Amino acid sequence: MLGFDLSSKKALVTGGSRGIGLSIARGLAEARADVVVSSRNGEACSTAAAQIATATGRRAAGIACDVARDDEVTKLFAAIEEQGMGPLDIVVTCAGVAELTPSIELERAQFQRMLDIHLLGSFDVARRGAAQMQGRGGGAILFCSSIWGLGAQRMAAAYGAAKAGLCSLTRTLCVEWAPLGIRVNAIAPGLVETDMTAPLLEYPQMRERMVKSAPMRRTATPDEMIGAAVFLCSPAASYVTGHVLVIDGGVMAR
């Protein structure tokens, strides 16, 4: 029976030094994968990798990278090879930022930054990962989208558009890369308590409104993303591709 064991697999998690990315990186290591943790903060990457290695006994490396910059993504993949952490079998893209701005005040540069980090950065990392997977039996790509990419949220035009782009990219790459043995899926979390969402939740009215919108009447923790992520990256999901798995406490069911 196909299971969740990721022994002998090598994984990259961008945005992996905190929040959802850190939880997923640890979850992959707990499933016996060796993991590369990447984010813009090199010190945070090294700390996260050391914690994961100590907790799981798996190899873990921290490599700094700003996915919005093509030259840094190139250096990331070179460093992965230099440190013996490749070729990759699993790529998870969680790097991201969030901000709320009234659309009428939203400047082009702000919009472009969201696209560069969430959409273009994810594609660039996935494309390079897929190049290592082809000819080796394939692999798994997992994007971190959002329910804001599936439905409307006021003042989140740029963020929502970038996350919606990831949902579309998931389906397109699924069709194109399936013949290579590469599965492409995404998770779409609802409101998760992280450092990134903390500024949004500082406002009691916003927190109350968002919590009330979820039938489960609460926010999620980063660790609640682990099960879905490990499943979609594991042999247990061998016939699952092109899927966006919503993890939102029932918000989108309304």
Q: Is 105 exposed, middle or buried (0-12, 13-18, 19+ CB in 10 A)?
A: exposed
DSSP 8-class letter at 118: I
Peptide bond preceding 199 in cis form (omega within 30 of 0): no
CA distance 92 to 11: 8
Q: Give dist(CA 178, CA 193) in Å, integer.
A: 34
E strand residue ranges, 127-192? 139-144, 182-189
Contact in structure between 121 and 72 (CB atoms under 8 Å): no
Question: Which distant-in-sequence residues (6+ apart) come within 8 Å of 152 by Cβ?
Answer: 160
The DSSP output letter for 117 is I
Residues in the chain: 254
Exposure on the CB side of residue 206, measured as CA atoms within 13 A: 12
| Pair 142, 93: CB distance under 8 Å | yes
Instruction: Give kind and range of the element (H or E) at residue 133.
Output: helix 121-133
- Choosing from 159, 190, 192, 230, the catalytic residue is 159
- DSSP H/E element including 167: helix 157-177
203 annotated active-site? no
Q: Is 156 helix (H, G, I), strand (E, B) or coil?
A: coil
Q: Could you give the residue numbers annotated as active site?
A: 159
